[in-house]
A and B are shown apart, each in its own frame.
Chain A
Amino acid sequence: MRMWAQSHLCQKPQRITSVLAAALALTCVILGASQSASALPAFARKYGLRCSACHESWPMLNYFGQKFKDNGYQLMNDRDAPIWQNPGYWPVTFRITPIWHRVSTNKVAVDQSSNGEGKITESGFDLSGLDFHTGGTLEKNVSFYVLPSSDATASFHFETVMARLDNIGGSPWFNVKLGKFELDNLLSEKRILTLTANGGIYQLYHFIPAGDGNVFGQMGDNQLGLELLGHSYSDRTRYSVSLLSSNDGQVGLPYGSESYSTFITGSQAFDAGKLGVQRLGFYVMAGVAPTYYLTTGGAPITGSGTQNKGYSREGFVGQFYFGQRVDLTVVTQHGEDSAWFGQGYGDFVDNPNAICNTPTGTQPCNNIPGTQLIRGARNPTWNGVLFEPHYVVSPQMILLARYETIRMSQQSTPGAASSLGNISTYTFGYRYNPFMTSRAGFAYHGEYNWFHQDGTSPVTATNLTSSELLFGIDFDF
């Protein structure tokens, strides 16, 4: 057969050219589509490593990437200090995602509807915001991260600004971080693999019971504070303790000046042979936040918040690997807010027109001296769990899914429906990196999310459901 082919080809040079050209083109297409795959290309460029070295699928870290981050963006070799870099090296990465998406919500406030609500479905081409990451080392064991981030209209804010002192006293157990930073969530929301509005966040990290005024316990939001963190040499054992201003990461001390929270994590990883490395950990976020603000002309005075009330979020995290291709992350949460928050106090600064019930009638949600809660008001409590499995087809392609559910275990207001505010959401998707180098990241992204919440539609207070289908090209460079 081979002989025939050779002879045949030699007798038909023109055909050879066509065949060879076609073969070459096909080869180029195949190679182009299957070249090896990239999150901060700035780090990848610095160390000459592919994205897949640090990321299970960018931006989600694998254990090697987690250790790199825990070491203050250092590999702990002689390349860490910037003095060893080419002077032309610029530690900057841009990330933006052009998308097409279709969003459908079953109950939106609509004037033209008989009951004031209607289903809205919208679709079209769109953009994510622009992230402008810059980070790395200022000197060996001194690192930084600055992330100006815009929404889709290019309105910027500082998502992250922090400086770190690493390996204090030569010990990996002592590192200090100051500024605005992501809490040390083992399952990082800032490195989430999904992009839809409801699937692109972890509901557990932002849950606020219906009618609750506590915006301060959102552990998915970057927070302002000081963090002490450390880990063993191999990063198998990790801990962190943060002291945070209770202002949900907003600059300018907009709420109380004497309101602080803490976030504590710890985890231990185990080498489970052929299954891989398994990690178990816990987190606790607890603190106080203000419910009473001085006013001027009826408007709250920023930074004047007092009458602190408490809240807490705690849970376990497990990262389980079942060989090289399948892994599952599980996060649980038990949350509790003070009854004051449960009745709507707390976020007076952002919602000065909100009305709260009292035994004597209604008043703005400002806990002015003498304010009383309605009879029987209780601390709202809830439980939630998140499952996120991944299937790694190759370092360049990942299939992902997520199921999250949050169930209220105690409503603040007596007589409120026990399911009010409960959430269930499913997400499925894929990310495919057609190429992977140490220079840039590029992923074809597809995702579907379905979201359901009980009793929170805007007019009739019935169940709310929405879904979103999204396709896009996620890239950074």
Chain B
Amino acid sequence: MQTNLLKCSLLMSVVVALCFSTASYAQLTTYQQQEWLHSPAASSHIGNLTGAARAAALPYRRYCVGCHGELGDGNGENAVWFATPMYAQPRNFQLAVFKCRSTPTGTLPTDQDLFDTIGRGMDRSNMPQWTPLSKQERADLVAWIKHYSPRWQTEKAGTPIQIPPEPEITPERVKAGQEVFAKMQCYKCHGVQGMANGPSASTLTDDLNQPIAAFNFTDGSRPKCGDTDRDIYRIFMTGLDGTPMPSFADNIKPDEAWDLVFYLRSLQPHNSFNAKEREIAKQLGLKPVNPNAPAQ
């Protein structure tokens, strides 16, 4: 009888432990998720579009679940194949931490940010561009994504940062951008020539302790959060939450951020954005930054 009781207690303990571990990991219980899903707040707003989480159950299952998982925890059946620094792991929506935002670091992204990410996809990850989906479907998916984390119920999205108009490119600006690159020690991760081979590059991990690679400016890759000048500016100022890329909003002025954009453009191979920057860098005869040079 005692043996039976012991077995029963052990069994119950395991069940309880499993329940608690699941609850703490999921952050929202399945019941809570379902409840939230049917609340009026389970929506997204992108321009004139209103997305409804409930309407996204089928598209999420069709398009997303293989990577992001039924629970939105980034543990779909394909996730195991992405465990390499070269490819980002599927996003864990339960944590509500997103790289691509227009909002300050540490804040939630806007619905538009999430909508843009779904349409843009992400290079060096398994996330394709989902533009063939209707805008309504994408808006619904934004609402759905939000139902996985309680953060969306207690916090509001951050206020998008202001991006001043892009100034005229000049040789002085490109040179100044290189100085910002040196001063902010961007080379530590991105390397002195932007080749993602800085001294810290091999040690980088994300917030979940997964190895992560710094962005290589020289191999023609598209930055994950957009490849226009404004997108790159935004990345400096918001940071990529969940990764070692910090926000420099408190460290550099808007003008300096634009200078940095121009300098980084000059490191990229020829593309549709950087002809002028490359030409200027060539005329200036810019050499890679010297990490050992005395600070100016």
Q: Which residues of A contact B (CB under 8 A)?
A: 6, 9-10, 13, 16, 36, 47-50, 52-53, 62-64, 66-67, 75-79, 233-235, 271-274, 276-277, 324-325, 392, 394-395, 437-438
Whether B134 pairs with A276 at a CB distance below 8 angstroms is: yes
Q: Which residues in window 78-119 of B have CB below 8 A to A?
A: 78, 81-82
Question: Does B136 interact with chain A (Cβ within 8 Å)?
Answer: yes
B66 touches A49 (CB 8 A): yes
Inter-subunit contact A64/B132 (CB<8 Å)? yes
Find out whether the CB atom of A324 lies under 8 angstroms from the CB atom of B59. yes
Contact stretch, chosen from B1-9, B169-177, B235-243, B249-257: B1-9
A50 in complex: contacting residue of B55, B65, B132, B133, CB < 8 Å: B65
Check if A438 sits within 8 Å of B77, measured CB to CB: yes
- Of B21-29, B35-43, B120-128, B185-193, the stretch lying at the interface with chain A is B120-128
**Interface residue tally of chain B, by bracket?**
35 or more
Could you tell me the distance in whole angstroms from the C-beta of A352 to the nearest C-beta in chain B?
49
Q: Within the complex, which residue of B8, B129, B137 is in contact with A16, where a contact is CB–CB below 8 Å? A: B8
Evaluate contact between B123 and A53: CB separation under 8 angstroms: no
Judged by a CB distance under 8 angstroms, whether B230 is at the interface is: no
- Contacts A36-B66, A392-B58, A394-B58; is A437 near B132 (CB within 8 Å)? no
Asked if A16 contacts B62 (CB within 8 A), the reply is no
Q: Are B126 and A47 in contact (CB under 8 A)?
A: yes
Q: Are A273 and B134 in contact (CB under 8 A)?
A: yes
Give the interface SS of chain B, mostly helix, strand, loop or mixed. Answer: helix
B67 at the interface (CB under 8 A from A): yes
In contact, B62 and A52 (Cβ under 8 angstroms): yes
Q: Counting CB contacts under 8 A, is B202 at the interface?
A: no
Query: CB-CB < 8 A to B82: which residues of A?
Result: 48
Partner pick for A75 among B4, B65, B66, B129, CB 8 A cutoff: B129
How far does the alpha carbon of A407 sit from the alpha carbon of B222 in the complex, in Å?
A: 54
B134 lies within 8 A of A438 (CB): no
Inter-chain CA distance A9–B12, complex, in Å, is 11
Q: Which 10 A-B pairs have the closest CB atoms?
A: A63-B132, A50-B66, A48-B78, A395-B62, A13-B4, A10-B8, A75-B128, A52-B62, A64-B132, A234-B131
Cβ of B61 within 8 Å of any chain A Cβ, yes or no, is yes
Between-chain CB contacts (< 8 Å), 23 pairs:
A10-B5, A10-B12, A16-B8, A48-B126, A49-B78, A49-B126, A50-B66, A52-B62, A52-B63, A64-B132, A67-B131, A75-B121, A77-B123, A233-B131, A234-B131, A276-B137, A277-B133, A324-B137, A325-B58, A394-B58, A437-B77, A438-B66, A438-B77
Q: Is B221 an interface residue (CB 8 A)?
A: yes
Residues of B within 8 A of A66 (CB): 132
Q: Check if B135 is an interface residue, CB within 8 A of chain A.
A: yes
- Chain B residues, Cβ within 8 Å of A6: 12
In the complex, A79 Cα to B129 Cα: how many Å?
Answer: 13
Complex Cα gap A213–B74 (Å): 59
Instruction: Annotate B120-161 by CB proximity to A: 1 below 8 A, 0 otherwise.
Output: 010110101111111111000000000000000000000000
